[in-house]
Structure formats: structure tokens, C-alpha cells
């Protein structure tokens, strides 16, 4: 892709990406080594919440690694928009739920430092680049554009439901989710909605790859985390409609990500339309 259309990002953003990845390694530890990381987390987390958050942070780490690797406007635009949405919502939710945090521990202060800093850096860069056009991309077919809009609506409405009506929406999850965690989880869906909407008209291949990778990992690791955790604590009712609805939701997210990966790979290096 020509560098004039997809210019490199400032070196400072590459340092920012590297720093975020280091932080996300700790978050990913909630999935791979929960017994080690949970006692050091800024607030108490249940076994299911730990694995769910750890799976998302693993997906986010992969996305930031893509930004570090390419370090260009595409996929930087997508990554930074999704990061801004996620960190802004989580920061706001954290600030109105300060009772969950023990400020006698460094972890609580580091949490706010990292999240508020990320909001400021990603937001400032996006504001400065607000007039920049997206990189050239594949123009999706009408059916694909319709699907992307539908996906945006589903993820966005579900995320808003988790944010505004956390007790009601989270009551359909396989494990007990308190309002604070439900609102934190809402940021995952809203960031996904923002990313999907960003590329529904024109999809630069790097951005389609990154979004597909994120969704595939979120779907896969969420389901895998549920299975692994229940194998240890045996608390999930696998015959309940709520459990199967939740599995269908994250299965769909994972499959949608896989389809985006396939589409991006199929047309990589081609000027054909999707």
C-alpha cells in the first residue's frame, strides 16, 4: 500500500504500543495464570470474571501487537478508535465505582494511571488526525455492508444495555455478574461496535485483519475460559437457556471474526471488491 495513503505513525505511538503490550501481559495472566494474577488485581474478581477479562486482554494484546508491527495509519486508526472507546468507558465506570478499589495498594493507582493515560494519548492523536482520510480499502458488497451495519447495531445495543441496565442484561449470563463488572464488560461490545462501524463502507485490509483477529480471539477465549473455569469449580448449568444464549453470542462473535480474517486474507494484495 502506498505510504502516501497509509503513512507511518509517530515514533511516540510505537512506544505507547509497546508500553500497553507490557501492561496487557499482566491482564492476559488472568486467563493463563489466574492464581498468580488475581491477588494482584486492582479489585476482587471471581474465577469466571478473571478468565473472561483475561481472554479479552489477550485479544487486546494481539491487536496492540499488530499496531506495533505495522505502525501505520491503517490499522492504527482502527486500533486507536477501539482503544479510546474501551479505555474511556472503563475509566468512567471505574471512577463512579471507587469503592471496588483499595487505594492502599499500588495496583489501584496504576490502574487509573494506565487507563486515564491511554484515554488521553489515543484521544489526542485521534483529534489531531481527525481530518485524515482512511487508507484505501476494499469496497464491501451490499450484502457485506448490510451485515456489518447489523453487527454494529447488535454489539452497540448490547453494550449500551450492559452499561445502562447492567443488572438486567447481565442476569442472562451463565455466572453471576455484578453491575460494576457488567459495565466494564460493556466496553468490550461498544469498542467492537465502533470498530465495525468504522470499516463498514470501506475496509482497509490491515484493519479488517485486526478487527477479525480481535473478534475471533474474544469469541474463542471467552468460551474456552468458561469451559476451563467450570471444569474446576462446577457452577455452570449447561442445560440453561441463558448459558446457550451466551455461548451463541460469543460463538457468533468468534465466527464473525473468522469470516473477516478469511475475507481480508482472500483479497490481500488484490484490488477486487469483497
pLDDT band at residue 265, thresholds of 50, 70 and 90?
confident
DSSP string, 31-85: HH-HHHHGGGSSS---HHHHHHHHHHHHHHHHHHHHHHHH-BHHHHHHHHHHHHH
The domain locations on the chain are 11-266
pLDDT > 90? residue 201:
no
Per-residue confidence (pLDDT) for residue 266, from 0 to 100: 80
Across the chain, what does the average pLDDT equal?
Answer: 92
| Cα torsion angle, 237, 241, 246, 252, sign | positive
What pLDDT digit, counting tens, does each position of 21-80 carry? 999 999 999 999 999 999 999 999 999 999 999 999 999 999 999 999 988 999 999 999
pLDDT > 90? residue 2:
no
Per-residue confidence (pLDDT) for residue 3, from 0 to 100: 46
pLDDT > 90? residue 272:
no
Per-residue confidence (pLDDT) for residue 202, from 0 to 100: 84
Look at residue 239 and give its three-state secondary structure.
coil
What pLDDT digit, counting tens, does each position of 117-146 carry? 999 999 999 999 988 888 877 777 889 899
Amino acid at each position: 500500500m502506498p505510504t502516501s495513503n497509509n503513512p507511518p505513525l509517530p515514533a511516540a505511538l510505537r512506544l505507547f504500543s509497546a508500553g500497553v503490550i507490557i501492561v496487557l501481559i499482566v491482564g492476559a495472566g488472568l486467563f493463563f495464570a489466574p492464581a498468580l494474577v488475581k491477588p494482584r488485581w486492582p479489585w476482587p474478581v471471581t474465577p469466571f470474571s478473571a478468565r473472561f477479562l483475561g481472554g479479552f486482554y489477550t485479544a487486546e494484546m494481539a491487536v496492540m501487537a499488530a499496531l506495533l508491527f505495522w505502525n501505520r495509519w491503517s490499522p492504527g486508526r482502527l486500533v486507536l478508535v477501539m482503544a479510546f472507546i474501551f479505555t474511556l468507558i472503563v475509566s468512567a465506570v471505574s471512577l463512579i465505582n471507587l469503592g471496588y478499589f483499595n487505594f492502599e495498594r499500588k495496583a489501584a493507582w496504576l490502574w487509573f494511571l494506565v487507563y486515564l493515560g491511554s484515554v488521553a494519548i489515543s484521544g489526542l492523536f485521534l483529534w489531531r488526525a481527525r481530518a485524515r482520510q482512511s487508507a484505501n480499502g476494499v469496497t464491501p458488497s451490499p450484502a457485506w455492508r448490510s451485515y456489518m451495519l447489523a453487527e454494529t447495531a447488535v454489539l452497540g445495543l448490547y453494550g449500551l444495555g450492559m452499561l445502562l441496565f447492567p443488572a438486567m442484561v447481565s442476569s442472562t449470563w451463565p455466572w453471576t455478574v455484578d453491575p460494576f463488572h457488567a459495565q466494564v464488560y460493556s466496553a468490550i461490545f461498544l469498542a467492537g461496535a465502533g470498530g465495525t462501524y468504522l470499516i463498514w463502507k470501506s475496509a482497509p485490509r490491515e484493519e479488517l485483519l485486526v478487527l477479525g483477529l480481535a473478534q475471533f480471539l474474544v469469541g474463542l477465549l471467552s468460551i474456552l475460559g468458561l469451559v476451563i473455569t467450570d471444569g474446576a469449580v462446577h457452577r455452570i448449568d449447561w442445560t440453561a437457556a441463558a448459558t446457550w444464549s451466551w455461548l451463541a453470542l460469543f460463538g457468533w462473535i468468534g465466527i464473525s471474526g473468522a469470516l473477516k480474517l478469511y475475507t481480508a486474507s482472500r483479497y490481500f494484495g488484490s484490488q477486487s471488491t469483497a
